Every structure is written in C-alpha cells, then in structure tokens.
Amino acid sequence: MADAGDGPILDSARLTGFCRAVFERVGMPEAEAALCAESLVEADLRGVASHGVVRLPIYAERLERGANNPRAVPRILRETRGTAVVDGDNGMGQVVGAWAMEVALRKAREGEPAWVSVRNSNHFGAAAWFAEYATRAEMIGIAITIGGINHMVPWGGAEALLGNNPFAIGMPMRGAPPMMLDMACSVAARGKIIVAAKEGTPIPPDWAVDRDGVPTTDAARALEGFVSPLGGPKGYALTLTMGLLSTMLSGAAFGREVTHMYEDFARPQNVGHLFAVLPVTAFEDLDTYYARMETAAAELRGARKAPGVARIHLPGEREALLRQARLGEGVPVAAAVMEELVALGLRLGVPPLK
C-alpha cells in the first residue's frame, strides 16, 4: 500500500475532481481547470508531492486576488519555421505551458526540431508533465523554467537572485514509460521543504541554510533562508544557465525582476519557460532509435550491482512504477495539506473530499 504518513489516502479521480472544482470556482474555464487539476494530481501520483496538491491553495489565492489571469489567451508574438515566442497573458503556467508545447509539437511534426520560449506566464508545476507531451508523440521533449521565487544565492554571494530553475528531458521508450530526467538545480526542490514545513518534519542538513547561511534541518527556518545548489558551484552554474535559457529568449523576469509567488499579489510574475521537441526521425530511423534505447536500458539494468541493491532504475522509472501503484491504491495526502484542502473547499463551497 502507498504510505499515507499521518494523512488519508484518496482516490486520484476524486482528488482530481476536487481540484478541478476549486479552479472553476476561482474563475477558470472547465477545460483549463481540468488541465491544471490533472497536472497537480499527476505529480502526486508520481511521488512528486512538492508540485502536487500542496500547491492548490496558493494557486487558488493568486487566481482569486487577480495575480494570475484565470481566462488567459496565449498568443504567438513572433515565429519562424522551427521557433516561436509565446506571450502567456499572465495565465496559469500549466495552461500556458501546455499551449506552448502544442505549438512546438505542431512544428516538430513537420520534421524538424522546434523551440518555443514563453514570457508572461506563472509557476508551471512539474516539468516532466510537459516533456511527456513529446514522448507520447514518439519525440524527445525538453521543458525548462525559471522559479517563481528567488531563494538561491549566486555562488559566493549573500543575496538571493536565483531560483532552483528545474528542467526535464523525456526520451520515449517502446512499450515502456519514457526515460524521464526531471530535476531542480538545488539539492532539493523548495516545494519539498514546503511540504516538510507543513508536516512538521525535519529536512536533511544539506538541503538548505537559514537566513544567516547556517545549514538547518528545520524546514520553517529553511524557508526563511536559501536552498543549497546541487554540487556547489556546479549547481549554481546550472541553475543560472537554466534561468537564462528560460528568460533571455522571451523577455521574462530574471534576477531582481522576479517577484515572490507567495507574497507579491500585486504584480504579474512574468515567469519564463523554454520548450523543445526533437523529432527522432529527423536524426534516426525510429525503429533503430528504439532498439538502441532498449539495448542501453538493458545494459544499465544488467550492470553488476553494489551490495544491497536489488534493481538499477532508469531516470523516471521509480516515478512511473509508483504512479501505477497509486492509481490502484490511492494518493497519500499529508494531514496538514489535507486540512488546507478542506478549509479551501469549505470557503469556496466545493463538495468536500471523502
């Protein structure tokens, strides 16, 4: 069974319906509300609680207070055969990102790689969700975004000017879930620290430092401080590069231009993304690609294992296996998160989760 911790285990379809109803109550059209709800619950199904329903209350608040546009109409500002720049009309990042990814897919289906940059968007949730758009079409997908909060200092600095700027790369596999790299450029995503703070559980000492730069296991103190970059200066360079790719090709906010997702409701965030779709057939025969991917996967899984290791996984494989289990067993929701969802539903008049 899935581990519920101190909270309930909920049916994924019922949880999705609740999220969809919340989004509709705060002004989103039915189709877009369903899209955002799917994104959140898919993250929880895959065990990525940092980008799951824990985000529903802040999304709803931003929509209610006019910080995000619930009925955004994205548009293309400029384009070539293989590129486009999209203005998201300050819409929900999931809606804008899905729209932009469809633009990239449409271009890639003509047989050449496509790149689409985005400005005037918002936090888009789990990056893998967008890369999977491409893998379902037997193409390679890339999704990059800048964070909605500056909570990482430049290496050697004492002022937060960077987010953890996650990215995902998905590669299709024949008859199996895609190989999916989905990672933040910090040791841990800030969302994981948010979840720990809500649950009142400690975090590992290498995840973050407090406001004085001292490593801490207290999640609440960590939220007042800074996340730690993955691999020290290499993680700083990686998050900087992802941030620049997400913004410099679109005019999205970077550095001191970035506002705070949880605190600033007066100004649009102007979050930037960059999406790419690589059609495999532009580079290699599809059957040859799949055969080589199968060989590579078999070699990795068949490698001599270290003591105590039962199985070697590909990136994204654990998440895919967990998703299959949770579709049958249900999605665990932490008690503190459940309390927030119940309060949100009561306030908006959404039928309660049971």
> At 250, which CATH number?
3.30.1370.60
Q: Which two tokens stand for residue 343?
A: 């309060």
Size (the chain), residues = 354
Is residue 67 scored above 50 in pLDDT? yes
Answer yes or no: is 232 within a domain.
yes
- What is the tens place of the pLDDT at every residue in 278-329? 999 999 999 999 999 999 999 999 999 999 999 999 999 999 999 999 999 9
- State pTM to two decimals: 0.92
State the residue range of the domain holding 189. 75-281
255: left (phi over 0), alpha (psi -120 to 50) or beta: left
Q: Which two tokens stand for residue 83?
A: 């590129």
What percentage of the chain has pLDDT greater than the value 90? 83
Q: List active site positions.
A: 123
Query: Average per-residue pLDDT in the chain?
Result: 94
Q: Long-range contacts for 47-52 (Cβ within 8 Å, ≥24 apart)?
A: 47/318, 47/319, 47/322, 47/323, 47/326, 48/126, 48/128, 48/182, 48/319, 49/191, 49/192, 49/195, 49/334, 50/189, 50/190, 50/191, 50/192, 50/194, 50/195, 51/125, 51/126, 51/189, 51/191, 52/331
What percentage of the chain has pLDDT greater than the value 70? 98
pLDDT tier at 157, thresholds 50, 70, 90: confident
- What is the tens place of the pLDDT at every residue in 51-64? 999 999 999 999 99
- Looking at the structure of the chain, the number of domains it has is 1
Note the Cα 223 to chain centre separation in Å: 19
297 vs 300: CA distance, rounded Å: 5
Answer yes or no: is 293 within a domain.
no
Of 319, 47, 83, residue with least CA distance to 191:
47
Answer yes or no: is 253 within a domain.
yes
227 vs 162: CA distance, rounded Å: 10
φ, ψ for residue 229 (rounded to 5)?
A: -70, 145
Answer yes or no: is 182 within a domain.
yes
Amino acid 5: pLDDT: 58
Amino acid 2: pLDDT: 41
Answer yes or no: is 256 within a domain.
yes
pLDDT mean over 81-97 = 98
pLDDT tier at 227, thresholds 50, 70, 90: confident
Amino acid 1: pLDDT: 34
Answer yes or no: is 67 within a domain.
no
Answer yes or no: is 224 within a domain.
yes
- What is the tens place of the pLDDT at every residue in 322-349? 999 999 999 999 999 999 999 999 999 9
Cβ-based neighbour number of residue 302 at 10 Å: 9
Answer yes or no: is 265 within a domain.
yes
Give residues with Cβ within 8 angstroms of 228, minimum separation 6.
Answer: 152, 186, 187, 206, 207, 208, 209, 215, 235
Can you count the helices (H) and strands (E) in the chain? 11, 11
3-class DSSP assignment, residue 192:
helix
Residues 52/16, Cβ–Cβ less than 8 Å: no
Amino acid 322: pLDDT: 98
